[in-house]
Amino acid sequence: MTITPRVIWILACSWGGGLLLAWAWWRTLRLRGSVQDRLFEPETGSLDATALQREPQGWLSRWLYLAGYRQPRAGLVFIGLTLLLGLMGGGLVGLFYFLGTVELALTLLYLVPGGVGEVFVPLVYVAAWMPLLLLAGLPALVVRSARRKRVTLVEQDLPLTLDLLATLAEAGLGLDAAIQKVVDSQPRERPLFVEFRSFQRDLLAGRSRIDALRRLSRRLEVIWFNIFISAVIQAEQIGAGLAEVLRIQADDLRSRRRERALAFAMAIPVKLLVPLVVCFLPGIFVAAIGAPFYQ
């Protein structure tokens, strides 16, 4: 199909109109969010916003919150980017069909002798829609990657933190003082210590220690950390010795990490089986029996 200036003009107008509608929609949501922020902004300026904010409502807000995107309009931004990128991907798919790229690929496949090309016909239809799937799913992939990175950082910092808390508690410090010592000696940008600072601000805001610990657990949602918080809450409720609880948790976490490392090590031979069969064995077969068959 010949690309005429009229076709280019129609495509440019379609993309420009889509971008204009997306910009207008984004501006409306931004103005609405700013009005809501002014209406519900807390009057207390001495406390951090984390200690006063409400729990996220809805699965999307919760998912973004756990990934570290905690702005009030994070959900709207995510939906807007998904729709905008989906619109761009749909435009690319329409362009492929409009220019005849899919028909050309199908024609070339049907020309392959023996009907071998017909096997790849479904792949052509799937490949034509891949831009839409990739672009529309890009925001979700970014959020998922941020969540996994956040969990990894927490799991890296947690063993040393538990050891330090247990040592400080055995030296006679309370939980709040031990957390303060650990937070002061660790990097400020790590997620675990950021949440510990939020826990301290919750206490300053007047929340009970158990409520602040539960909020701390919900802000991270890491399995190993949740187990630690549950043990500390139980010790607070029954009056058990905190130093002994922290030491038990530190030893238990160390053993779980050792078991996890052993599980990864035992899974390596199974994971090596696929590249061995796909990549190495065909070359060995060709080198070993290829020459006799050729002769």
Task: Residue 159: name the closest of 254, 259, 242 by CA.
Answer: 254
pLDDT of residue 6: 60
Q: Output the CA torsion sign for 55, 60, 66, 67.
A: negative
The predicted-structure confidence for 18-54, as pLDDT tens digits, reads as follows 667 767 766 776 665 555 555 444 444 444 555 555 6
Q: What is the amino acid identity at position 3?
A: I
Q: What is the mean pLDDT of residues 120-132?
A: 90
pLDDT at 26: 64
pLDDT of residue 287: 76
Residue 99: name the closest of 5, 6, 7 by CA. Answer: 7
CA–CA gap between residue 244 and residue 239 (Å, rounded): 12
Close Cβ partners of 201 (under 8 Å, ≥ 6 residues apart): 47, 48, 50, 51
Average pLDDT, the chain: 84
**Band of residue 223 on the pLDDT scale cut at 50, 70, 90:** very high
For residues 143-163, b (16+ Cβ closer than 10 Å) or e, as one string? Answer: beeebeebbebbbebbeebbb
Res 290: pLDDT: 66
Half-sphere exposure of 22 (CA within 13 A, CB side): 18
Buried/exposed 249-273: b ≥16 CB within 10 Å, e otherwise: bbeebeeeeeeeeeeeeeeeeeeee
Domains of the chain: 5-33+52-146 (no CATH), 151-257 (1.20.81)
Give the residue ranges of DSSP H helices in the chain: 5-40, 49-52, 59-66, 74-98, 101-110, 121-170, 175-184, 191-204, 209-220, 223-238, 242-275, 281-294
Q: How many CB atoms lie within 10 A of CB 99?
A: 15
6-20, 99-113, 140-154, 221-235: which has the minimum mean pLDDT?
Answer: 6-20
Q: Which of 91, 16, 274, 85 is nearest to 77 (CA)?
A: 85
Q: Quick count: other Cβ atoms within 10 Å of Cβ 228?
A: 23
> What is the tens place of the pLDDT at every residue in 149-198?
999 999 999 999 999 999 999 999 999 999 999 999 999 899 999 999 99
Say if CB 170 and CB 243 are below 8 A apart.
yes
pTM of the model: 0.76
Residue range 96-112: mean pLDDT, rounded: 87
Q: Quick one: pLDDT at residue 44?
A: 42
- Predicted local confidence at residue 277, as pLDDT: 80
Tell whether the model's pLDDT for residue 69 goes beyond 80: yes
H or E element: which one contains 114?
Answer: none
Q: Return all residues near 253 (Cβ < 8 A) that are at least 6 apart.
A: 158, 159, 162, 224, 228
Whole-number pLDDT of residue 90: 86
H/E run at residue 115? none
Q: What is the pLDDT of residues 74-89, one digit of tens each?
A: 888 899 899 988 888 8
pLDDT value, residue 43: 42
Tell me which of 284 and 116 has the higher pLDDT.
284
**Averaged pLDDT, 128-136:** 92
pLDDT in tens, 165-179: 999 999 999 999 999
Q: What pLDDT does 39 receive?
A: 47
pLDDT at 42: 44
Residues 6+ apart with CB under 8 A from 140: 82
Whole-number pLDDT of residue 293: 66
Integer Cα distance of 95 and 128 in angstroms: 10
Q: Encoding tokens for residue 268?
A: 């390596």
Check residue 45 and give its pLDDT.
44
Whether 3 has a pLDDT exceeding 60, the answer reads no
* Cα separation, 228 vs 163, whole angstroms: 12
Taking the CA atoms of the chain, what radius of gyration do you get in angstroms?
A: 28
Query: What is the SS3 assignment for 52?
Result: helix
Please give the Cα distance from 235 to 229 (Å, whole number): 10
